[in-house]
Chain A
Amino acid sequence: MSGAALAASAAPSFFSWAAAAQGGSLEVPVEDGMIVRSFRFVDLETPVEYFNTWLTPVPHFFVRNHMHEPSELNASDLQAKDWRLTVGGEVEKPFTLTLSELSKLETHSVVNTLECAGNGRSLHRPQVPGVQWGKGAVSTARFSGPRLRDVLQRTAVKPAGKHVMFRGLDEVPGKVPPFIRSIPLEKALDSNTLVATQMNGAPLTKHHGFPARALVPGWIGAASCKWLTEIKILESEFAGNFMSPAYRFPNEPVTPGDAVKPEDTHPLTALSVKSVISGPLDGASVKPGKVAVHGAAWAGEGDIVKVEVSTDGGVTWSSASLGHDQAHYAWRLWNYDWNAKGGDYTILSRATDSQGRTQPATPIWNPSGYLYNAIDQVKIHVA
Chain B
Amino acid sequence: MSHRKDAGQRSPAWGQPPSAVRPGAARLSTMLIVLAIASFTALAQQTAVVKPAEDLPPGLMQAKATTSCLECHEARIILQQRLSKATWTKEVDKMIKWGAVVDASNRDALIDYLSSSFSPDRPPYEPPRTSVEKNSLRKSK
Contact = CB atoms under 8 A, between A and B. Distances in A.
Interface string A298-334: 0000000000000000000000000000000000000
Contacts of A20: 52-53
Contacts of B83: 127-129
A175 B99 contact: yes
Interface residues of A, number: 61
A232 to B, nearest CB: 23
Given A20-B52, A39-B74, A173-B99, A2 B132 contact: yes
A173 B49 contact: no
Contacts, number: 215
A32 B76 contact: no
Interface residues of B, number: 64
Interface string B82-98: 11100100110000011
A26 B5 CA distance: 25
B104 interface: no
A35 B31 contact: no
A8 B38 contact: yes
B105 interface: no
Given A9-B37, A36-B50, 9 more contacts: A2-B21, A4-B50, A9-B38, A24-B26, A25-B30, A26-B50, A49-B4, A174-B100, A284-B4
14 contacts: A2-B8, A3-B21, A3-B132, A4-B49, A4-B133, A5-B23, A6-B48, A26-B51, A30-B48, A38-B76, A39-B52, A132-B82, A174-B98, A283-B5
Interface of B: 1-5, 7-9, 21, 23, 26-27, 30-31, 34-35, 37-38, 40-41, 43-53, 71-74, 76-77, 80-84, 87, 90-91, 97-100, 120, 124-125, 127-135, 139-141
- For the complex of A and B, 6 pairs with smallest distance between CB atoms: A174-B99, A280-B2, A20-B52, A33-B135, A26-B52, A175-B99
